[in-house]
Structure 1
């Protein structure tokens, strides 16, 4: 099982700050070392000095367990633990921490990243007992520099968090299981990406075609060889550049988790850990977010292609939770504004959206019993810039009211294999007969709402379907209403998008699937009935 690189990195960074504590520095370090080993890491210390009220460690190195496919090394140059005199312990990490992780990608390639972390002035005050601890941490500044270790993604990334504060509590039960809660805040976050390098040489695409290669080999004509070979490429000294900045104000985070007793580690055995009782939940919320980017890419014909863009949002949220009951992943942004310009585009692209949110919930542990899943997506108040409308509809034929989209689905499914098993993740799951097996078997689907409102037309659909052994043959009914469709078709003809003589086909299709609502000819309704055996009826008329 490949350890998720980002997940492991976050866990290590957080654990390196608010350490687990007891009444003496030595007991603090022992608890910290035990916690790292419980996570599946080997801990080595260069030197260890002191006793009583002070303990100093140098070259503290964490590495992945031997049975872990991920090659991971975290080095903390110096950690000092000092008793505060009132039953607490003050811990400080001195020097630049380094983290390097390597893994194997889906195609067998080596992937990974390296990062350095500086937290001058960091401090953690830990109080309580070994069974119930509270850790209050402060980092005036946390500076992170990282880069990928593969041959392609070598773009350096830097991030700075200012005025980081937070509290973590750890409670250990008599059976060895532990429960953690945490919350914190960063006054501001700024991330930067800056990369410049030689433009890559493009390969000749025609040589991938054996027929063209044979023609050139057999002398099919100088013209064919000349025209069929992509000899154009950036000049030898051409360079590409990219830069981006992201700023976040008032980042807050909170979370909680439960680690079961025993030797099972979520990092190396996630499915087993979930079944044993592992659970975790974390959420982030932000104030205003702004970002910009610029790029300059060498063009084959000479010169360069230049692009730039920016975006902003008034607020944002992101939350993830996982347990034996399932996985949920959700987030949202409000009052988002985006703009993009490029020398390759005829006009700038700019739009705003009042709300963009999503939520996904699904099972992760295999079971013969049905388990719930759901998917929701909402886009409200999407408004395009006048430059886009001027290019598409200069005569203002279409209404330019804000558009909206809503998708709300839920249902029941049978998960035949643990979601976090390597076979599932790599798409190699097989059944008892050795044949490829679909691990996600839907049993029912409730379409609570699918609605779209744009350019003067609207659609709403809802219904319920059930599934047998063949997911391609559902049984059930889906109903829908449509408004403004005929008017929209007429406007498209007026704009010249659809010729008048070609309008009969779309109207005939509409007549097959929908019927006018009595008293309102511009409103249509439909009822799609899916029957056993794969037959489909629209408003009582069989269409399949």
Structure 2
């Protein structure tokens, strides 16, 4: 299983519960080891020099052994010094340059892929307080600098990132049976990251092969060498800056030997779980790219983006997996060789949410999907190319998709072999591991170029998802006006509108007193019958 960099690189800097009680260096170190072994890490120590007042650990290595195509991960900390401060607390300092390497060997290949990274945190310290059963660790790092590259001999992808003003606090409370609960919060003043990618151009190395005439083929010993790859490269550079980062969350780890790293489903069933959220302030980024084309010319592009704020949140437990995030007041700009005009657009809000079951059950489980794009605007250059006569309304557009329902999950989503092969049913089709049982369309709305659509409804599904039961209702506005405008613009010939208008008449009817406002009611009945506004269409 992959481990987020935060839980790996900061693993032994962050700790865990209530203060104002005595704790020793040995107790702090034991608590940290127990926490990471519960998460599936193997902890090794090169050497240990311990006394009642201090412990010095050298060559501390946290390891996760990957399974199948999952990567191995190794985090090495050259030195950790834990010292009793004298007021019942313990001060911990990580010394030297930390290293993190994650790698995997794809099936059918003998070369590992992944990345290696070094991390420097000068001036870092952690103050641990409380008791072994309830520890609090308060972390301070003036700067955390990360520098890494891909494990690839052909392509260079160096990455550097610097966090400034890092502070955080984590608590871990451990019960008598070994189960634990955790909370954490942290912040950083800013993040600055740069990435530079460079490698042999595909256009330069993937030259077509031609077979020589058999009569002219040289002897094997005289066969010419393969043409050497040219020095041409594809290059990419990007810079990202984020201000006012913050994060918070909580989690639970069950008692016993099971851990999430090697047995995710069993750990979830035993009570493992957690949730975390990440927020950021003003965000900006830019990139440049240059690639070689098949005709030998170069395609150069550059772009930038900005956002006023953003959020990201994830949660996992036996009840399901949730993942959501969003940006506000975002703008994007892009130019490229051969592009007839720059692409620039903005949006007041762009957010998403996905929630789904991950532990198999014979009971229905909830799922949800939300996507919102609000206040979408296009640059004048795009409008000029699409609609030079300004026939279409250019008001900000919006799209909303808000769905929820229930489904049967027949296989554990977190298992390494998901999805497993399933015997075909009587109809010859193999059943899907996630089978819908109900769907509620809370909102499905579109507002763009003078036309609107707004749908809602609810469906239920039996063993055959292709034959739902239920009803979907909706209203449409400005459709006829939009079609007439497209004809006037020459986009759609008048004679080609007969088909779309006949379909509209079949599925929708005009609202009394407002012919440009349409409404529809689609009903799904037994045995696959479908009715539109009371008229059977299937």
> TM-score if structure 2 supplies the norm length?
0.91
Contact 1:429 1:438 in 2 (8 A): no
What residue number does 1:380 align with?
374
Counterparts of residues 84-99 of structure 1 (less than 5 Å): 84-99=85-100
Q: Please state how far the C-alpha of 1:488 moved relative to its aligned partner.
A: 0.2
1:479 is aligned to 2:503:
no
Distance 1:66 1:457 in 2: 52
Alpha-carbon distance between aligned partners in 1 of 2:310 and 2:150, rounded to the nearest angstrom: 27
Which deviates more, 48-57 or 66-75? 66-75
Tell me which of 10, 15, 22 is aligned to 1:14: 10
Q: CA deviation at 1:339?
A: 0.7
Distance 1:492 1:152, change over 3 A: farther
Distance, in Å, in 2 between the alignment partners of 1:20 and 1:531 is 57
1:430 equivalent in structure 2 = 422
How far apart in 2 are the matches of 1:264 and 1:389?
A: 58
Q: If the length of structure 1 is used for normalisation, what is the TM-score?
A: 0.90
Would the aligned equivalents of 1:423 and 1:429 in 2 still touch at CA under 8 Å? no
- Tell me if structure 2 keeps the 8 A contact 1:234–1:300: no
Most deviating of 198-207 and 401-410: 198-207
SS at match of 1:344: coil
| Structure 1 residue 236 corresponds to structure 2 residue 230 | yes
Give the 3 Å change call, closer, same or farther, for CA 70–263 of structure 1 in structure 2: farther
Name the residue aligned to 1:199: 201
Instruction: Check if 1:318 corresponds to 2:306.
Output: no
Once the two structures are TM-superposed, the CA of residue 185 in structure 1 deviates from its matched residue by 0.4
Structure 1 stretch displaced more, 506-515 or 460-469: 506-515
Counterpart contact for 1:382–1:404, Cα < 8 Å: yes
**CA shift in 2, pair 1:65/1:234, >3 Å:** closer
Q: 1:240 to 1:371 in 2, by over 3 A?
A: same
Residues paired across the two proteins, number: 518
160, 163, 166: which one pairs with 1:161? Answer: 163
Equivalent residue, structure 2, for 1:448 = 442
Partner residue, 1:142? 144
**Residue 505 to residue 469, structure 1, CA distance change in 2 (3 Å):** same
Change (3 A) 1:151 1:375: farther
**What are the equivalent positions in structure 2 for 1:66-465 lying under 5 Å apart?**
70-105=71-106, 110-150=112-152, 154-200=156-202, 201-203=204-206, 236-424=230-418, 427-430=419-422, 436-465=430-459
Q: Distance in 2 between matches of 1:172 and 1:468?
A: 45
Tell me the CA shift for residue 472 of structure 1: 1.4
CA shift digits 1:251-299 (9 cap, x unpaired):
0000110000011111111110000000111100011000000001112
Aligned-pair CA distance for 1:462: 0.8
Deviations 1:489-544 (A, max 9, x none): 01001111001222222211211211111111101111111222223222223323
2 CA distance for matches of 1:108 and 1:320? 33
Deviation digits for residues 384-429 of structure 1 (CA, Å, limit 9, x no counterpart): 00000000000000000000011111111111111111232xx334
Does structure 1 retain, via aligned residues, the 8 Å contact 2:16–2:170?
no
The 1-side partners of 2:503 and 2:66 are apart by 63
Unaligned runs of 5+ in 1: 208-212, 220-232
Quick check: 2:403–2:441 contact (8 Å CA) kept in 1? yes
Query: 1:273 & 1:495 partners in 2: Cα distance?
Result: 61
Match of 1:59 in 2: 59
Cα 1:44–1:144, aligned 2, differ >3 Å: closer, same or farther? same
1:24 aligns with 2:24: yes
- Which piece of structure 1 moves more, 529-538 or 107-116? 107-116
> Over residues 139-180 of structure 1, what are the superposed CA-to-partner deviations in whole Å (9 max), with x where a residue is unaligned?
000011122325677522211100100111111111110111
- Say whether the 8 Å CA contact 2:165–2:188 is kept in structure 1: yes
Are the structure 2 counterparts of residues 519 and 400 from structure 1 closer, same or farther at C-alpha, using a change threshold of 3 Å? same
Partner of residue 229, structure 1: none
CA distance in 1, matches of 2:107, 2:338: 33
Distance 1:44 1:327 in 2: 32
Kept in 2, the 8 Å contact 1:234–1:298? The answer is: no
Find the aligned partners of 1:527 and 1:481 in 2 and give their Cα distance: 9
Name the structure 1 match of 2:42.
Answer: 42
Mapped to 2, the partners of 1:363 and 1:198 lie a distance apart of 43
Aligned 8 A contact 1:234 1:301 in 2: no
Give how far 1:195 is off. Answer: 2.2
Q: Which segment is superposed worse, 522-531 or 125-134?
A: 522-531
* Correspondence for 1:223: none
Q: How far off is 1:122 after superposition?
A: 0.4
Please give the alpha-carbon distance, in whole angstroms, between the structure 1 residues aligned to 2:512 and 2:66. 72
Looking at structure 2, the residues matched to 50 and 445 of structure 1 have their Cα atoms a distance apart, in angstroms, of 61
Secondary structure at the residue paired with 1:501?
A: helix
Is contact 2:364–2:406 with CA below 8 Å preserved after alignment? Answer: yes
Is the Cα–Cα contact under 8 Å of residues 16 and 134 in structure 2 kept in the other structure? no
